[in-house]
Structure 1
Amino acid sequence: MSESILTSPQQSSVPRRYEASRSILLWDRFMNRFITVGGLAIIAAVLGIFVFILWQVLPLFRPARVISMREFSLPVGGAVLMGLDEHGRTAFWLDAEGTLHFTDLETGQRFPGRSLWGGRQVRLTAWRYHPGRQEILCATAEGEVERVALRFPAPTGTSTATVAEPQVETQMLPELASKGYPVRAVDYGDSGTDKLLAVVQEVDGRQEVRAALLTQTRGLLGAGRIRVAATYDLSGQITGRVDRLLVDRDAASVVAATESGTVYYFRREGQQLELRQVFRPFADRPHPGVAFMEYLLGDVTLVLANPEGVLRLYSLYRPEGRSDRVFGPIHSFPSLPGAPGFFAASQRNKAFLVGHRGEVRLCYATTETIRWTGQWPEPIRLCAINSKYDRIALWDETGRLRLLRLDDPHPEAGWRAFFGRIWYEGADRPRYEWQSTGGSDAFEPKLSMVPLIVGTLKGTFYAMLFAVPVALLGALYVSQFAPPGFRGVAKPVMEVMASLPSVVLGFLGALWLAPRIETRVPSLLMIFLLVPLTALLMGAVWSRLPIRWRAQVPAGWEFLALAPVLLGAVWAGWGLGPVVERWVFVVADPVTGERVADFRLWWPWFTGADFQQRNSVVVGFMMGFAVIPIIFTLAEDALSNVPATLRSASLALGASRWQTALYVVVPTAAAGIFSALMVGLGRAVGETMIVVMATGNTPILSFNPFSGMRTLSANLAVELPEAPHHSTLYRALFLGALLLFVFTFLINTAAEVLRQRLRERFKNL
């Protein structure tokens, strides 16, 4: 009894109507935990997305991996060249007696040697191997030249199954060299219709350099006989002894290098073979001789080395002021200990294997990177890379053949490839460029992110340039000056604008807006000039009118007097545009030479930049319409939530409505306004469809407002459907997504920091 008397006053101290029921307490506890778990789940999801994207991007920055697979002991003999089939299953080599040898690299099976030259005993004095065509060109001490085509059967069954013997087809080429004299260098190009053969021969102690244009007819019964269409004696145009000779795969040029270090470049035009260029690639070195010269894939870039091991790449390009292409230095690599002793070019990309004695390097030409370096105890004599770029064969001087597995799926990637200035083949200077696909196997992908980043910033800038003044001034007017009835209509209308699909805005921008403003750019410039000036002038005049006149207009409805004047300014600007164009934007027509008034011709003449119909100005207009509702709504909420007591106090102290809005309301709502700008900025950065449709969607690095662009988000939309899974392009697109992710994260972080500082600064207002 005593305990109940003591406890009853405590139980009844809280009125029963204020006590929460058990179900409410349980529901409140559940919701608190649910919200907490939901927030943590969102954070985990965002981190998961980031980790997934990062996981897809990381392989782009990994070096090549080379793993030893098998070793074989082969006869040391007199092997002069070595190659691999496409799958890296069969290795072959040619000895100095003109015999081809084959071995199965899976089982070690040796095939019988195949004697060339019809089984005759010969001595080879020159040879060339073209891995792209799987052809060998060899010449003898008697001046004969034979072409050997290799055909490897595709592997079937298990990896240890016996493979079929490779097929060997031989063809004697027409006599070009003098009989009975050794050929010192030989090469052959075949474009399908035209064939070009070049030889260097020793004749009675003097050297002769000759070339021949060959033709071959094709009929219903197959290929006909090869005939000589034209011959060329290049000896008189070359000074010095030629020890290296190359013919490109299109049968269009001959490149010869002398012992003294001079390179001669001959170009064929029709049936004429003319000397186009003479250059010395190592004239600045103590040993200027050319000790090594080979083509990379595509036969556009020469890999050159001198006796010191200095490695340089010369590529064909068109210098400024010239109409034809010549060789020029574009890349260089760290020097080898000596002149290269072996070389193999990849047939899939711009990679090549090179080395001196026991040092082996796998290099990638475009980015000037060394993908892998290996050291071997014995000097390497010969090397080969299969066309699938996944096997390497090294043959040392002891007769040991090592088969290595190459794992380098993204050799063209790297920090420099994505963010550096690259000198690509055929270009006249280093540049930032995105071009993921091309029309030939020799094309090298260009994956610079810089044009896409600049395009993203460019589109965002023009969108915000148009949207921010309109949205902020509109929000300021609706929240501080407009009557309640007008505010109740304007804000819902702006919110409805936010629901407009971006594809509709992009469609309107591309097919309606762009053609209309293409010829009226001066009118737009006049409108942008006259409307602000008219508004300022109208405000100055209105403020000086007698108070009894201004009192006739209800507060907040002053825009009824301003709107007709502004519409008149728009009409006047549109009409004055052609007049201004005739006065200012006059240029000579490039076709007729007559003086014409056309801004589209004047802009390229004045700035040197292009003028395109779908350009950044169009994107700024249409993307601005997509961003305006977001900024307006958030900024209007921030301005409307400023306590009315602050406005009343300011007005009571004698400040005008404009002074109150500018010096009291805006600073108080600065944090919310800044958040609105950041949300709008994020919307503009991530916009896709408007950019894809309303601009040329060309990934060019240009700040020209009248040129097209491509943004990171638009690039994802355009390229991802065609990117092979886990290819370099596929992962490069994920890198673009990662950049967007990081860019948005940095913007939001900076926005939050600045918002907190603004809140602290104006919290006492």
Structure 2
Amino acid sequence: MDSDSPSKAPTPRPVPARFLVSRRTLHFDRFMTSAIVFGGIGIVVAVFGIFAFILGEIFPLFGEAKITESRTADFRYSAGGVLGLDEWSKRPFFFDGRSEISFLPLDGDSDAAVSTEAIPLPEGSELSAYRYDAISQSIIVGTNQAQAGLVRIRYTSTESDGKTVVGAKLELQPFYDLGATGENSTVQAIDYKDAGERKLFGAILTEGGTGETHLKAVSLKQQRSLLGAGEVKVDESTDLTSHLAGQHPVEVLVAGTADSMIVSTREGDLFYLFRNGDTWELRQRFLPFEDLGSRLSGFGFLFGDVSIVAYSDGGDVRVFSLFFKEGEKVRTFGQTKEFPKLDGGVTHYLASQRNKSFVVANDHGFVLCYATTETVRKRMDLPFEAGTVAIDAKAAHIGFLDQATGKLHLYEVDDPHPEAGWKAFFAEIWYEGFAKPKYEWQSTGGTDDFESKLSLTPLIIGSLKGTLYAMVFAVPIALLAAIYVSQFMHPDVKKTIKPLMEIMASLPSVVLGFLAALWLAPLLETRVPSVLMMVVLVPATAALIGHVWSHLPIRYRNRMPVGSEYLILVPVVILMAWLGWVLGPVIEKVCFVATMPDGSKLADFRVWWPQFSGLPFDQRNCLVVGFIMGFAVIPVIFTIAEDALSNVPPSITSASEALGASRWQVVRTVVLPIAAAGVFSALMIGFGRAVGETMIVVMATGNTPVMDQLGRLFLGDPGLGAGQFPIAEHWNMFNGMRTLSANIAVELPEAAVHSTHYRSLFLGAMVLFLMTFVLNTIAEVLRQRLRERFKIV
């Protein structure tokens, strides 16, 4: 062997220690494993914690009223007269119907002595009629000398030793002459309302000699000067008996506006009389129970004096509200609600002074109802025979006088959310003043008697509608862009385009909403035909160029580097977009011409659309939302879909091309099926982004909860036949909406904690949570099936 030849390299020996993991690495690995497990469990617990918190907030909305007896006291009165409660239920009173008012102090733990005060009547007069107005806490009295007066009960409260001490005193106002209709005219029924400038007595007088009854409307006038208010005097006394068609009046109610009266007659009819200027007119005459064959037993106003509750001798209970009927120019009463019968008939009716709750009762039991939702909140039987019934101002206590013992029984009412319930949130409700039942969201109003409208249906439809238009705009652009960038674009250009698209996702939604409200919405308002032309021309041009390019001879196509075809397409598309924008006004003058009331023609899409479809055109509409929200959703869908398409193994695509498939055939038959699970995930994440969007919707849509024909079609409204409305009515993109997320963002800061409004907003959050949960669950199941179906390993 040559000594100069290289020596053989030594065989490497394995070093077992190099396969050993250091303790530091093992400890760090265990720590990270524990942290990841703990973090995952923590996220799951947090999600369920949010779910439990929201559920705890909304659960009280669906509970029934709780009524329990809180106290009994000896009051020595049993039947007849008037029982009244103050807002604290600390000093109830009883008016015997003659001249005495008795007060029972309930401030302490033990019953105190009853104090009695007499009502001074005019000399030679006796009390013949009375009515208690719980809102003004006044007893309206009439005499056998055709006179009427008011006795106001003034309550005061002071704190003593940590307890509320309630005091009461009577405030007597002057008696007024109602205008006798004959000798010994006696007041048989009386009512009074003070609406500020208007003050009105409604009275039924009976002549002593003939027994004839007369209906009188007596208005009062108060002189005012710089020195203050003057004396109240009778301004006008009008005999309205001629409006009753010869029937005999027995009961009269004056509306809170002091410009109308409702009169019941012995024959069972109701007459609605309205003062129009200086004259009284009969607006309506109707029989409340004509179809049932029952006779009217009594009636009373609901809180707000827009609706009346009528009850029959058979225990039937119906609600009639004022609204404009079709073809009529004045409001009249129409039946809007009906409640279950009260066995034994109705002898007492009490209206809440806080909301639309009311109580109907008889000697043996009572029912607490809520008029708006047409629901029975509580039905109870009484262990005694009730003679007189009262409810306090807050509807927190109901008082009964036992006919046998004269004891006062106070029942505490715990019903914090009477206006809530499944029907209130998800069904059509016939609200006061509306001509038909509606889905409506209007949580607050400007008056105490406002009727809360809490239907979540317009908000759910608004969320789906906004998401639909955003996805219609975003999905084609995002998916086609992802396909082109991942499969056709030159790699050098792709390195620039994809980061730019991802940067788009970082734009704040409030900035996009600001641009939509102040720039895009006013721009699109007058250029809708231009947008329609662009929507037609741009895709058609792109498709045409692609078709022509694919049929060009290969020698021409090879002159363009692969992945650079966009250099031809983009300028042409921009040119066609400009052409569509320019042609818009021309198309508007030809196709969108509206006829004005004077017969002239006006080429304006904003005027033409309502005439054509019967639906409104708003500046901030779904078209604007589709563009801007689509702009926010496109980067999300594009990024995830492009990653899924790019991760298809090159060996698969190369094999397909080797078999002679074109690039488009490879994408359509190989790449898309394999990446279908990822593409579907991109769509679902984009859908979730659109459903939860808030600021864009708030700023770009007007944020008005509307329920158009699209929403009614979703709900299967039987009134929408297939041939009854044009299809445009079901898909109106030219009006706004309010979504669940936007509603929560706008109203939650102003909602009183634990109020019905507050809890209703949390219910909207739960609905949104369930919508996304259900959709994501379905999406995950479909994604797994797609993955199993098209997996390649």
- Cα deviation digits, residues 261-299 of structure 1 (max 9, x gap): 211100112221111111111111222x21011001000
Per the TM alignment, residue 230 of structure 1 is displaced from its structure 2 partner at its CA by 2.5
1:473 to 463, 476, 480: 480
Distance 1:377 1:371 in 2: 20
- Cα deviation digits, residues 636-671 of structure 1 (max 9, x gap): 000000111110011011000001011100110000
Q: What residue is the counterpart of 1:258 in the other structure? A: 265
Q: What residue is the counterpart of 2:167 in the other structure? A: 164
Q: Does 1:187 align with 2:196?
A: no
Per the TM alignment, residue 18 of structure 1 is displaced from its structure 2 partner at its CA by 0.9
Distance 1:119 1:26 in 2: 100
Per the TM alignment, residue 110 of structure 1 is displaced from its structure 2 partner at its CA by 3.7
TM-score, normalised relative to structure 2: 0.92
Distance 1:519 1:110 in 2: 78
Check 1:161–1:633 CA distance in 2 against 1; reply closer, same or farther (3 A cut). closer
- Supply the AA of the counterpart residue of 2:368: L
1:663 to 657, 669, 677: 669
Q: What residue is the counterpart of 1:82 in the other structure? A: 83
Distance 1:158 1:390 in 2: 24
Could you list the runs of 5+ residues in structure 2 that have no partner in the other structure? Answer: 1-12, 711-731
Task: Indicate if the aligned counterparts of 2:104 and 2:115 stay in contact, CA closer than 8 A.
Answer: no
Task: Indicate if the aligned counterparts of 1:315 and 1:327 stay in contact, CA closer than 8 A.
Answer: yes
- Cα deviation digits, residues 460-509 of structure 1 (max 9, x gap): 01111111001000000000000111110111001100000000000000
After TM superposition, the structure 1 stretch with the greater mean CA deviation from structure 2, 508-517 or 387-396, is 387-396
- Cα deviation digits, residues 219-238 of structure 1 (max 9, x gap): 45543222333322121221
Q: How does 1:49-60 map to 2 (within 5 A)?
A: 49-60=50-61
Q: Does 1:691 align with 2:693?
A: no
Per the TM alignment, residue 182 of structure 1 is displaced from its structure 2 partner at its CA by 2.4
- Supply the AA of the counterpart residue of 2:55: L
- Supply the AA of the counterpart residue of 1:64: A
Task: Indicate if the aligned counterparts of 2:178 and 2:216 stay in contact, CA closer than 8 A.
Answer: no
Q: What residue is the counterpart of 1:331 in the other structure? A: 337
Q: Does 1:761 align with 2:789?
A: yes
Distance 1:109 1:222 in 2: 41
1:231 to 224, 232, 237: 237
Could you list the runs of 5+ residues in structure 1 that have no partner in the other structure? Answer: 1-11
Q: How does 1:401-440 map to 2 (within 5 A)?
A: 401-440=408-447
- Cα deviation digits, residues 676-717 of structure 1 (max 9, x gap): 000000000010000111111111112421111111111011
- Cα deviation digits, residues 193-249 of structure 1 (max 9, x gap): 011111112212211111122211234554322233332212122132222211001
Distance 1:643 1:529 in 2: 36
Q: What residue is the counterpart of 1:451 in the other structure? A: 458
Task: Indicate if the aligned counterparts of 1:254 and 1:265 stay in contact, CA closer than 8 A.
Answer: yes
Q: Does 1:61 align with 2:42?
A: no
Q: What residue is the counterpart of 1:198 in the other structure? A: 202
Check 1:177–1:439 CA distance in 2 against 1; reply closer, same or farther (3 A cut). farther
Check 1:247–1:177 CA distance in 2 against 1; reply closer, same or farther (3 A cut). farther
Distance 1:604 1:256 in 2: 43
Distance 1:23 1:226 in 2: 95
Q: What residue is the counterpart of 1:7 in the other structure? A: none
Distance 2:228 2:566 in 1: 85
Per the TM alignment, residue 589 of structure 1 is displaced from its structure 2 partner at its CA by 2.5
Q: Does 1:245 align with 2:252?
A: yes
Per the TM alignment, residue 400 of structure 1 is displaced from its structure 2 partner at its CA by 1.8
Task: Indicate if the aligned counterparts of 2:80 and 2:387 stay in contact, CA closer than 8 A.
Answer: no
Q: What residue is the counterpart of 2:147 in the other structure? A: 144
Q: What residue is the counterpart of 1:153 in the other structure? A: 156
Distance 1:115 1:455 in 2: 61
Task: Indicate if the aligned counterparts of 2:396 and 2:414 stay in contact, CA closer than 8 A.
Answer: yes
Per the TM alignment, residue 161 of structure 1 is displaced from its structure 2 partner at its CA by 6.0
Distance 1:728 1:165 in 2: 33
Q: Does 1:357 align with 2:363?
A: yes
- Cα deviation digits, residues 32-72 of structure 1 (max 9, x gap): 12211111111001100110011011111111111211101
Task: Indicate if the aligned counterparts of 1:97 and 1:121 stay in contact, CA closer than 8 A.
Answer: no
Q: Does 1:706 align with 2:734?
A: yes
- Supply the AA of the counterpart residue of 1:72: A
Per the TM alignment, residue 143 of structure 1 is displaced from its structure 2 partner at its CA by 2.6
Q: Does 1:442 align with 2:449?
A: yes
1:384 to 384, 387, 390: 390
Query: RMSD of the TM alignment (CA)?
Result: 1.7
Q: Does 1:571 align with 2:599?
A: no
Task: Indicate if the aligned counterparts of 1:177 and 1:183 stay in contact, CA closer than 8 A.
Answer: no
After TM superposition, the structure 1 stretch with the greater mean CA deviation from structure 2, 515-524 or 199-208, is 199-208
Check 1:648–1:259 CA distance in 2 against 1; reply closer, same or farther (3 A cut). same
Check 1:143–1:158 CA distance in 2 against 1; reply closer, same or farther (3 A cut). farther
TM-score, normalised relative to structure 1: 0.96
After TM superposition, the structure 1 stretch with the greater mean CA deviation from structure 2, 269-278 or 323-332, is 269-278
1:615 to 612, 621, 624: 621
Q: What residue is the counterpart of 1:4 in the other structure? A: none
Task: Indicate if the aligned counterparts of 1:292 and 1:339 stay in contact, CA closer than 8 A.
Answer: no
Distance 1:119 1:582 in 2: 80
1:735 to 749, 760, 763: 763
Distance 1:309 1:346 in 2: 20
Secondary structure of the equivalent of 1:424? coil
Check 1:119–1:112 CA distance in 2 against 1; reply closer, same or farther (3 A cut). farther
Check 1:125–1:598 CA distance in 2 against 1; reply closer, same or farther (3 A cut). same
1:556 to 558, 563, 583: 563
Task: Indicate if the aligned counterparts of 2:301 and 2:309 stay in contact, CA closer than 8 A.
Answer: yes
Distance 1:442 1:529 in 2: 52
Distance 1:131 1:249 in 2: 12
Check 1:500–1:159 CA distance in 2 against 1; reply closer, same or farther (3 A cut). same
Distance 1:161 1:648 in 2: 88
Distance 1:48 1:13 in 2: 55
- Supply the AA of the counterpart residue of 1:407: D
Q: What residue is the counterpart of 2:632 in the other structure? A: 626
Per the TM alignment, residue 258 of structure 1 is displaced from its structure 2 partner at its CA by 1.3
Distance 2:157 2:376 in 1: 32
Check 1:339–1:260 CA distance in 2 against 1; reply closer, same or farther (3 A cut). farther
Q: Does 1:303 align with 2:309?
A: yes
Distance 1:123 1:753 in 2: 83
Q: Does 1:96 align with 2:109?
A: no
Task: Indicate if the aligned counterparts of 1:78 and 1:96 stay in contact, CA closer than 8 A.
Answer: no
Q: What residue is the counterpart of 1:128 in the other structure? A: 131
Distance 1:306 1:14 in 2: 102
Distance 2:213 2:15 in 1: 117
Distance 1:161 1:132 in 2: 22
Q: What residue is the counterpart of 1:8 in the other structure? A: none
Per the TM alignment, residue 22 of structure 1 is displaced from its structure 2 partner at its CA by 2.0
Distance 1:222 1:761 in 2: 87
Among all aligned residue pairs of Structure 1 and Structure 2, give the percentage whose two residues are the same amino acid: 50
Distance 1:442 1:711 in 2: 27
Q: What residue is the counterpart of 1:5 in the other structure? A: none
Check 1:13–1:360 CA distance in 2 against 1; reply closer, same or farther (3 A cut). farther
- Supply the AA of the counterpart residue of 2:192: Y
Secondary structure of the equivalent of 1:87? coil
Distance 2:124 2:647 in 1: 100
Q: What residue is the counterpart of 2:754 in the other structure? A: 726
Distance 2:582 2:651 in 1: 48
Check 1:61–1:78 CA distance in 2 against 1; reply closer, same or farther (3 A cut). closer
- Cα deviation digits, residues 718-750 of structure 1 (max 9, x gap): 101111111111111111111111111111111
- Cα deviation digits, residues 57-110 of structure 1 (max 9, x gap): 111111111121110122236641111112222111211222111112233334
- Supply the AA of the counterpart residue of 2:423: R
- Supply the AA of the counterpart residue of 2:252: L
Task: Indicate if the aligned counterparts of 1:189 and 1:251 stay in contact, CA closer than 8 A.
Answer: yes
Secondary structure of the equivalent of 2:416? coil
Q: What residue is the counterpart of 1:518 in the other structure? A: 525
